[in-house]
A and B are shown apart, each in its own frame.
Chain A
């Protein structure tokens, strides 16, 4: 079985400061990893995904994430946040191949402070 842990339920950060949202996963097989963003009263939309290849993945809105297999982590980073980045961020994992059931973390609320 696979699982995802997002250690921080809320992360406050000042505008233009860098941010890192942490995600650790557990799986006995190869995985695909995802970060989704949810703005208030909206559904989730994909920020970025890691399938294979380069461990540094770039996504939309200036976000990037790095896959670290030895530490089973997939932390999300942005060098300079904007007010519009205030949202909830979900890390997700699926087993590579097959049906690819996706397991979501419990989410991290990013609060950007002006």
Chain B
């Protein structure tokens, strides 16, 4: 399917477990982003990537790890999940041109028990 997809859409895990959220885009966009959405905070940037093998921290990176070995994929890993990481996670991508729009995936709702 064309566009940007996320998997799983829903995930329940336990404190201390490792969890990986997947993001895949078919546009060959250079930039990819991970945000978390929490009530009262809007969207906060966790990590972003400007190209394959280039990643950088956003506003709230602690407890998360990313990689980008291929342009189309940008997985987000919670190395040891905590309850405070219960959130809705959105992946987004945009092209290289200066004012390209960010396109968002449908989100992953993660619950950490």
**A63-114, CB < 8 A from B:** 90, 97, 99-102, 104-107
Number of A-B contacts (CB under 8 A): 44
Interface mask (B5-45 → A, CB under 8 Å = 1, otherwise 0): 00000000000000000000000000000010000111111
Chain B interface residue count, CB cutoff 8 Å, equals: 20
The residues of B that contact A99 with a CB separation of less than 8 Å are: 50
- CA gap between A45 and B44 in the complex, in Å: 16
Q: Do B43 and A42 touch (CB < 8 A)?
A: no
A42, A46, A90, A101: the one contacting B42 at CB < 8 Å is A90
Q: Do A43 and B106 touch (CB < 8 A)?
A: yes
The residues of A that contact B4 with a CB separation of less than 8 Å are: 43
The residues of A that contact B35 with a CB separation of less than 8 Å are: 104
**B83-104, CB < 8 A from A:** 90, 92, 98-99, 101-102, 104
Q: B2 to nearest A CB, angstroms?
A: 15
Measuring CB to CB, which residues of chain A are less than 8 angstroms from any residue of chain B? 6, 32, 36, 41-46, 49, 51, 90, 97, 99-102, 104-107
Measuring CB to CB, which residues of chain B are less than 8 angstroms from any residue of chain A? 4, 35, 40-45, 50, 58, 90, 92, 98-99, 101-102, 104-107
